[in-house]
Every structure is written in C-alpha cells, then in structure tokens.
Structure 1
Amino acid sequence: MLVLSRAIGETISIGDDIALHIIELNGSQVKFGVEAPAGVNVHRAEVYQKILERQAAEAPATNP
C-alpha cells in the first residue's frame, strides 16, 4: 500500500486516466473527488462488496 500526504487542492494521479482531487479536510475525514473515464466504475468498498455478493447470488449454479 502506498500512503501519500496531500493538501486541499492537490491531486493524486493513478495511471494516465484517473485522478483523485483533495477537496476538503474536516478532522479525520477527507473529501475527495474522483475523475475517471466513463467506463470505469467507482464505488465505496462496502458498496462494491454488496454488488459482488448480489452478482454471485444471481449467477446460475454450475455443475462440475
């Protein structure tokens, strides 16, 4: 895991197409904006986990 320190108004780049913009700091909370191509899905981890669980439940059972 890479840990970075940034100030309000600064940006973190991920590859060529994704940027995290630091918008606001409030105590121990950070508000940031995600700039990514339209085809890239961005979710909070707990939301993404629920999506994966729902997809697994909806997937047809396969017999070996």
Structure 2
Amino acid sequence: MLVVKRKKGEAILIGDNIEINIVDMENNSVKIAIDAPRSIRILRKELLKEVENENKQAITFNKDILNKLKK
C-alpha cells in the first residue's frame, strides 16, 4: 500500500489514465475527484461490503425457507 500526503488542489496519477484530485479537506473528511475511463469500475468499499453482507443474509434466509418447505 502506498501512503502519500496531498494538499487541496494536488493530485495523484495512477498509470496513464487515472487521476485522483484532492478537491476539499475539512474536519476529518477529504473530498476527492476521480478522473478515469468509464471502463474502470469505481466503488465505495463500505457499500460493496454492505451489499455482499446483505446478499449472504438473503442466501441464508432463502436456504432456511427452502429447508422448511421440504419438511
């Protein structure tokens, strides 16, 4: 993992086609802008994990229902 310090208005380049700009910083929050090709998937990790957890719960719930129907 690379850790770098950036100030408002500075940027980080990833490869030839992804640029991350620091737009604003206040309190304990940083606002970033990501410029990347549309083919690059950009996801908020906490939301992805939430969806994965909900999917796991739905699978478990559906298995429980199917097992009850079999009886």
TM-score w.r.t. length of structure 2: 0.66
The one-letter code sitting in structure 2 at the alignment partner of 1:11 is: A
Equivalent residue runs for 1:1-64 within 5 Å = 1-49=1-49, 50=51, 54=55
Match of 1:62 in 2: none
Instruction: Point out the structure with max Rg over C-alpha.
Output: 2
TM-score w.r.t. length of structure 1: 0.72
Q: Distance in 1 between matches of 2:3 and 2:24?
A: 18
Listed one character per residue, the Cα deviations across residues 8-49 of structure 1 (whole Å, up to 9, x for unaligned) are 111011111111000000011100001000111111002233
The one-letter code sitting in structure 2 at the alignment partner of 1:14 is: I
The one-letter code sitting in structure 2 at the alignment partner of 1:34 is: I
Larger fraction in helix:
2
Please provide the CA RMSD for this pair.
1.9
Q: Which runs of 4+ in 1 moved over 6 A?
A: none
| Aligned-residue identity in percent | 35
Q: Distance in 2 between matches of 1:37 and 1:47?
A: 21
Provide structure 1 residue ranges, at least 5 long, that are not aligned to the other structure: 58-64
